[in-house]
Amino acid sequence: MKSGLNYAVAVVLLVTASLAWSAEEEGTLAEYQPVMSEEFKEMLRNASPDAGKESFMRKCSSCHDHKQKGGHGKGPHLWNIIGRKAGSMPGFTYSDAMRNSGHTWTLDTLNYYLTKTDRAVPGRIMNFRGIRKDSDRAELLAFMRMINDNPPPLP
Ligand code: HEC
């Protein structure tokens, strides 16, 4: 009986440890390739780009221009952001962290970055923490997909 209990305790400890381990694997975009969950993909397919634009205007437009013929502000010009290598717009001075992150912006990496910007790119100089609510982020991404010469397909 007692050893059965010990066994159960050991299993619980092991499971807890491996959960903690997998959480740690979610690292920086320089070393971790995030993938959207199926639930989030579904949310993104149903999200309103108009609602996303409103949220962009409120949360991002003080620093970022989203128009095709736009330019840099406090943050880099975001037209064609999806498909572009991070930190690569000519004429904008990025942090070393962003320039060296070495990944290309996709719906998956943008979603991960916008969840918690300092986890994705520690040392980033974008003074914005992130958007924790999935449905808000899905709307924003539905809009950011459209500010592109060739909008990428929905997942
Ligand atoms: C206070 C100003 C500010 C706000 C607000 C802000 N950003 Fe930024 N953003 C920046 C700066 C500065 C950088 C460059 C970061 C670096 O080099 O580390 C950046 C970088 C980025 C990048 C990477 C660009 C590239 O060329 O690789 C994306 C994508 C981005 N921001 C999206 C957003 C979105 C979406 C929002 C709104 C939810 C937002 N930002 C809000 C200032 C801001």
For the stretch 89-146, pLDDT in tens is: 999 999 999 999 999 999 999 999 999 999 999 999 999 999 999 999 999 999 999 9
59-100: per-residue pLDDT in tens? 999 999 999 999 999 999 999 999 999 999 999 999 999 999
pLDDT class of 37 with cuts at 50, 70, 90: very high
What atom of ligand 1 comes closest to residue 59's alpha carbon? 37
To the nearest 10°, the Cα dihedral for 119, 66, 54, 82?
A: -50
What atom of ligand 1 comes closest to residue 113's alpha carbon? 29
Our answer on whether the CB atom of 125 is closer than 6 Å to any ligand 1 atom is yes
Give the pLDDT confidence score for residue 56 in this predicted structure.
98
How many A from CA of 135 to the centre of ligand 1?
20
Listed residue (56, 55, 117) closest to 86, CA to CA: 117
